[in-house]
Structure 1
Amino acid sequence: MGGNGSGGNPVRRPNERLTSWFHRSGWSKGELARQVNRRARQLGAHHVSTDTSRVRRWLDGEQPREPIPRILSELFSERFGCVVSVEDLGLRMTPQAAAASGVDLPWAGGQTIELINEFSRSDLMLGRRGFLGTSLTMAAGTSLIEPMQRWLVPTPAAPEGAPPPGAAPAAARMPGPAGVSRAGLDQLATTTAQFRVWDAQCGGGLRRKAVVGQLHEVTELLQESAHPPAVRRRLFGVTAELADLAGWMSYDIGLQPTAQKYFVLALHAAKEAEDRPLGAYVLSQMSRQMIHLGRPEDALELVHLAQYGSREQATPRTQALLYALEARAHASLGQPPRCHRAVRLAEDAFAESAPDDGDPAWLDFFTRAELCAENAHSYRDLAYVAGRSPTYVSRARPLMEEAVAGFAEDSERRPHLSHQRSYALALIGMATVHLLAREPEECVRLTERALELASRLRSERVSNRLRTTLAAVRREHGELRAAAGLAERLTVELPERETSRAG
């Protein structure tokens, strides 16, 4: 029995939840078995050898042993683009320590350094989905929100002359230089900024490993010796930015549990850096991921936490970003009045921003075009929720047009610094607006423009949105010859990649 990863259960009832997800997936029993085996090999669980008869027993009510429940949760989550938990599948998983979930971690500086160091090293060494084995799963709901709320709890002040809270004892520190020069810190900041440029231009899949490697080196630097408080805070700030970027790149190529773990570690580092706006930004990234995974309630909780925690320090442009993401969450929840209010607040806050506000470098991406794209997507999502409402389509259209025009101008004006991925996503968003307006020819034309950009990116997020948009066109307008031709091009130019090999 150990070889197939299942345990016996003499009295069983059919697992109706698993059966429902299975039928909706369109997979055959053999295909599901093959995917489970392939994922198990990636996890190093070589003892797992599933076949169609074993899948049939699961549907009949047999409870599989670990790591099968986690593998099934991940496979179905990817298939449906939302979090499908082990419990949603009617399965049980072995209880685990809180820290093993990857979210409920101790809020202590020394342990934060160790966790980031260990996690980034494992990522570099193995570089594949599930590299931490069965301990790495997506958290959602209360198990995600409650640990993140501890970000707001003040860190106790250390007695005079004592090391910072959570710092490793002196005997445990590795020998190293007494400090880091200002020039060295500035170089780290410059390198991090360059990584952000590459991500915006090329997508998350091209330079992810380089970011993880830099992150690992910075944590090594933090472990080397006692640093002055100001230097230590700045090093933690760089660590938070790099961990956030590693999470963002992982999210962009479809490594969702990996992305969430990096985001959580980034939030811990931001707390050690005493940088509330940076922590709010990390929470906004987590909120965006939850919207992507079909968890708008969690997204809203996270963005409200970000707003509350940074309300006294956030610049107007940071506030605009948070309001725009709040609008996205309200739109996904089908709450028009609250969505309208958040869009208006985002517009007002952005209008109040000025070049001398002291906006951090990680906010450089949030231009007027980005704001328009976010608000346009909110109205586009409301249109979907409201059954293709012309009212919301008419609100989305001018905003999306302004976003596309802004990204196009930026691409022509400074091609080496432009946000090509955002441009591609805005084109796809504009295409979906035309599809909602029952203008399939224009939808296909814009999708083709997006494909030209996407072929130069390593972004599964862009590729998947292209596939989804084209599938919708062909489903609703199957007679459109141009859509069929573009679908063939998409298959050739953007074949579905194994995200486990990305980065």
Structure 2
Amino acid sequence: MGGNGGGGTNADKRPNDLLGSWFVRSGWSKGELARQVNRRARQLGANHISTDTSRVRRWLDGENPREPIPRILSELFSERFGCVVSIEDLGLRVARQSPSASGVDLPWTGPQTVALLSEFSRSDLMLARRGFLGTSLGLSAGPALVEPMQRWLVPTPASPAPPEPDPLPEPRRPGRLSRPELELLESTTKMFRQWDAQCGGGLRRKAVVGQLHEVTDLLQEPQPEATTRKLFQVAAELAELAGWMSYDVGLQPTAQKYFVLALHAAKEAGDKPLGSYVLSSMSRQMIHLGRPDDALELIHLAQYGSRDCASPRTQSMLYAMEARAYANMGQPGKCKRAVRMAEDTFADADDWDEPDSDWIRFFSEAELHGENSHSFRDLAYVAGRSPTYASLAEPLMERAVELFAKDGEHQRSYALNLIGMATVHLLQREPERGSAYASQAMETARKVRSERVNTRIRKTVGAAVRDFGDLSAVVDLTEQLAVDLPESADAG
């Protein structure tokens, strides 16, 4: 039978009563379950799986199948019963995986996405202290991260027919959410996004997580199909924002888990541009963590998945992130080409027929210049602190700083670009100008709660001390750092 997913040992084998119970209640025959397993395996690219009725009988008799079959069975039974049916619930042993692999490779089903969002946001609210999930979550990277995310592109299989209703069922409750209530949820999400841009991720993160948990409660109630899709869209935006805020305050495994769940919710909403935006956030995190190869794969997945529906503004943002990945990989030619594509595509944004979604409106001319300048700045570091690439970054960064100063609303981005200007001038061996920009950045950083901003300032001041420690401007800068940015308190 070729690769049939058999595993385990025959010694001391006992019937799997748990799997048998779920199987009997499903109403499936052994042949039907085998066909569904084979079909799902092909969707996952596991073409070596070839299951038949005798193999299903062996599972019921106590044989433990190899991966990915336990995960496939979990997905199939979860879809059948409309609730989370874990591998353990089926009496199957989980294949040994690293915590990072098990943290992101989740079933792509609507009910399971809701359940996981609810469970994770509830745990976050109950245990909201810095690093609270550190022992149970690990960061995924490489194939363990990228391959599960590729399933975003796999069409969602049709749901099985629901089981026959009990006699005299209770009447189905109509969806209790009105259009004004949905609009209020959307406006609240927009408000949270504005707070994040203005104040950083530390101040309102728990409020966003709480709102996300409320939305998952609504998703567990009967709603019209259109309302359910809209709620999934709101959940995706809130989960992405919770991930972004967690990333901003340094909770990296927590951030990644929220990003993954946001992508699942975006898939359930049928919103490919939103999914591409979530993938861009995951890509940015990978660049931050020194994994530009992973970042590039995630961006290419985002571009491919939204190629026929993303607005010019969204496409421009994806090109800009592609440039950042290439810069950190030390590929100047591809980086410069992606920068040009970002600029050319952004020029078409004003001619787009439909209004942009709120989640992409942050990507302004200032953000475009800031991202592209950071790409050249990153190239400068990769190329051994090259002043040539730093000189390419300077005019773009200067324009970004100027626009953010006028804007007044995106204080964190303003601070990050001030830091960028400081690093550019340090690379150009202009420590006085670099120190002046770093000092400005510290003044702005006091207005936001962003460990990301604080960390970059400390690194920049450290670089100034290393190269120009005897200079009076740098001495003054280190004294200002001790006063303005003492070690941050827990961010929640």
Q: TM-score range by the shorter chain?
A: 0.7 to 0.9
For 1:458, what is the secondary structure of its paired residue? coil
**Following the alignment from structure 1 to structure 2, what is the Cα–Cα distance between the partners of residues 487 and 275?**
47
Q: CA deviation at 1:174?
A: 13
Read off the aligned partner of 2:476 and give its amino acid letter: G
Q: CA deviation at 1:96?
A: 4.2
What is aligned with 1:376? 373
Read off the aligned partner of 2:444 and give its amino acid letter: L
**Alignment match of 1:489 (pick from 474, 480, 484):** 480
TM-score normalised by structure 2 residue count? 0.77
**Alignment match of 2:403 (pick from 380, 402, 406):** 406
Q: CA deviation at 1:158?
A: 3.9
What is aligned with 1:348? 344
Matched, 1:183 2:145: no
For 2:135, what is the secondary structure of its paired residue? helix
Read off the aligned partner of 1:480 and give its amino acid letter: L
Read off the aligned partner of 1:291 and give its amino acid letter: I
Q: CA deviation at 1:162?
A: 5.5
What is aligned with 2:468? 477
For 1:495, what is the secondary structure of its paired residue? coil
Moved more, 350-359 or 463-472: 350-359
**Following the alignment from structure 2 to structure 1, what is the Cα–Cα distance between the partners of residues 96 and 434?**
48
- Identity, % of aligned positions: 67
Q: CA deviation at 1:482?
A: 2.2
Read off the aligned partner of 2:456 and give its amino acid letter: R
Read off the aligned partner of 2:248 and give its amino acid letter: D
What is aligned with 1:257? 253
- Structure 1's unaligned 5+ residue stretches are 1-93, 164-168, 412-417
Q: Is the 8 A contact 2:100 2:140 kept in 1?
A: no
**Alignment match of 2:321 (pick from 315, 318, 325):** 325
What is aligned with 1:82? none
**Following the alignment from structure 1 to structure 2, what is the Cα–Cα distance between the partners of residues 470 and 424?**
14
**Following the alignment from structure 2 to structure 1, what is the Cα–Cα distance between the partners of residues 320 and 340?**
9
**Following the alignment from structure 2 to structure 1, what is the Cα–Cα distance between the partners of residues 277 and 188?**
19
Matched, 1:457 2:448: yes
**Following the alignment from structure 2 to structure 1, what is the Cα–Cα distance between the partners of residues 294 and 129?**
27
**Following the alignment from structure 2 to structure 1, what is the Cα–Cα distance between the partners of residues 421 and 467?**
17
**Alignment match of 1:268 (pick from 259, 264, 271):** 264
**Following the alignment from structure 1 to structure 2, what is the Cα–Cα distance between the partners of residues 124 and 407?**
33
What is aligned with 1:440? 431
**Following the alignment from structure 2 to structure 1, what is the Cα–Cα distance between the partners of residues 132 and 122?**
11
Q: Is the 8 A contact 1:151 1:267 kept in 2?
A: yes
What is aligned with 1:197? 194
Matched, 1:248 2:247: no
Matched, 1:363 2:360: yes
**Following the alignment from structure 2 to structure 1, what is the Cα–Cα distance between the partners of residues 99 and 173?**
34
Q: Is the 8 A contact 2:229 2:269 kept in 1?
A: yes
Q: CA deviation at 1:132?
A: 4.1
**Equivalences for residues 2-17 of structure 1 within 5 A:** none
Q: Deviations over 1:419-459 (max 9, x none)?
A: 00000001000111101110000000001111111011100
Q: Deviations over 1:108-133 (max 9, x none)?
A: 00000000000000000011244346
For 1:357, what is the secondary structure of its paired residue? coil
For 1:280, what is the secondary structure of its paired residue? helix
* C-alpha spacing 1:201/1:337, structure 2 compared with 1 (3 Å): same
**Equivalences for residues 383-398 of structure 1 within 5 A:** 383-398=380-395
Q: CA deviation at 1:220?
A: 0.6
What is aligned with 2:121? 120
Give aligned pairs, total: 394
**Equivalences for residues 70-149 of structure 1 within 5 A:** 95-96=96-97, 101-132=102-133, 134-149=135-150
**Following the alignment from structure 1 to structure 2, what is the Cα–Cα distance between the partners of residues 439 and 130?**
38
Q: Is the 8 A contact 2:239 2:258 kept in 1?
A: yes
User: Would you identify which runs of 4 or more consecutive aligned residues in structure 1 move more than 4 Å?
Assistant: 96-100, 173-177
Q: Deviations over 1:275-296 (max 9, x none)?
A: 0000000000000000000000
Q: CA deviation at 1:493?
A: 2.1
Q: CA deviation at 1:358?
A: 2.2
* C-alpha spacing 1:189/1:216, structure 2 compared with 1 (3 Å): same
Q: Deviations over 1:71-96 (max 9, x none)?
A: xxxxxxxxxxxxxxxxxxxxxxx944
Read off the aligned partner of 2:289 and give its amino acid letter: L
Q: Is the 8 A contact 2:101 2:145 kept in 1?
A: no
Q: Deviations over 1:354-374 (max 9, x none)?
A: 164321110111000000000
- Structure 2's unaligned 5+ residue stretches are 1-94
For 1:140, what is the secondary structure of its paired residue? coil
